[in-house]
Amino acid sequence: MSTDHASWHIKGDSILTELIAMMDLSAEETATLGALQGAARVHAPALLDAFYQRLLSHSNTAEYLQQASMDRLHTAVANWFTDLFSGNYNEQYAKKRLIIGDVHVRIGLPVRYPLAMIDVIMPFGEQVAKTSATPDAAIKAFHKVLSLDIAIFNQAYEDNQLKHLAELVGGERLARLLLSGQG
Ligand code: HEM
């Protein structure tokens, strides 16, 4: 028996709008995070050291960095981290993050690696949040925006897989049924 789901009918930018709404960030939470952007900039160099140490110490991820411009990557990842504390999490923000996910799709990087890197990013974000006047609220809000990013990163991969499978089998619904083992 095949089942359709309402979520299957949400497409394109509406997916990002849905995810932002699902995180349920209050105005207070976005302001709390926005006040931490300077602190995020201060913590970014230490994050970068840990980030590339983790990627370079594992041969399957180090391989992707051989051809990359490390200066450009350092700046890009530092900005990515600092923007977690931009205090503005609208569709434009989400779209920018989706494009970053898509860059990783296009270099043929399995999604498990970016997902595993949350282990490195999480403690640095929490350190930044702890510098807030309201640390507990800031940590909770930081977890929300990081979860949003994980969802968006993964969405870039799913969009790509669905698109190609839908082209192959002649439709997105059939592709979704196949991916859920119902085809
Ligand atoms: C959550 C984890 C990660 C984040 C936040 C992240 C962030 C970024 C950002 C912001 C860029 C620049 C994108 C652009 O050109 O606009 C980038 C590019 C890149 N990332 Fe990541 N990344 C992550 C995980 C990884 C992993 C696990 C690898 C594996 C080695 C990796 C390898 C690369 C490479 C090679 C590029 C350059 C791609 C190119 O322009 O050819 N990234 N990343």
Q: Under a CB-based contact definition with an 8 Å cutoff, are residues 100 and 80 in contact?
A: yes
Banded pLDDT at 65 (limits 50, 70, 90): very high
| Nearest protein CA to atom 25 of ligand 1, as residue | 114
* pLDDT at position 1 over 70: no
Torsion over CA: 146, 150, 152, 156 (sign):
positive
Rg (CA), the chain: 18
* pLDDT at position 54 over 70: yes
Torsion over CA: 125, 129, 135, 137 (sign):
negative
* pLDDT at position 2 over 70: no
Q: What average pLDDT score do residues 152-165 get? A: 97
Nearest ligand 1 atom to the CA of 121 is: 1
* pLDDT at position 30 over 60: yes
**Domains of the chain and CATH, by start:** 25-179 (1.10.490.10)
Q: What's residue 52's pLDDT?
A: 97
Q: What average pLDDT score do residues 49-55 get? A: 98
CB-based contacts of 14, cutoff 8 Å, min separation 6? none
| Nearest protein CA to atom 1 of ligand 1, as residue | 114
Banded pLDDT at 4 (limits 50, 70, 90): confident
* pLDDT at position 133 over 70: yes
Q: pLDDT (tens digit, 9 = 90+) per residue, 93-128?
A: 999 999 999 999 999 999 999 999 999 999 999 999
Mutational test site, ligand 1, from 100, 105, 112, 157, max ligand atoms within 8 Å of CB: 100
User: Is the CB of 87 within 6 Å of ligand 1?
Assistant: no
Residue 174: both structure tokens together = 């059939």
Q: Under a CB-based contact definition with an 8 Å cutoff, are residues 35 and 87 in contact?
A: yes
User: Is the CB of 146 within 6 Å of ligand 1?
Assistant: no
For the chain, the first-to-last Cα distance in angstroms comes to: 9
Q: What average pLDDT score do residues 128-144 get? A: 98
What is the rounded CA–CA span in Å between residue 151 and residue 182? 24
Residue 88: both structure tokens together = 């503005």
Region of poorest pLDDT, from 1-5, 48-52, 107-111? 1-5
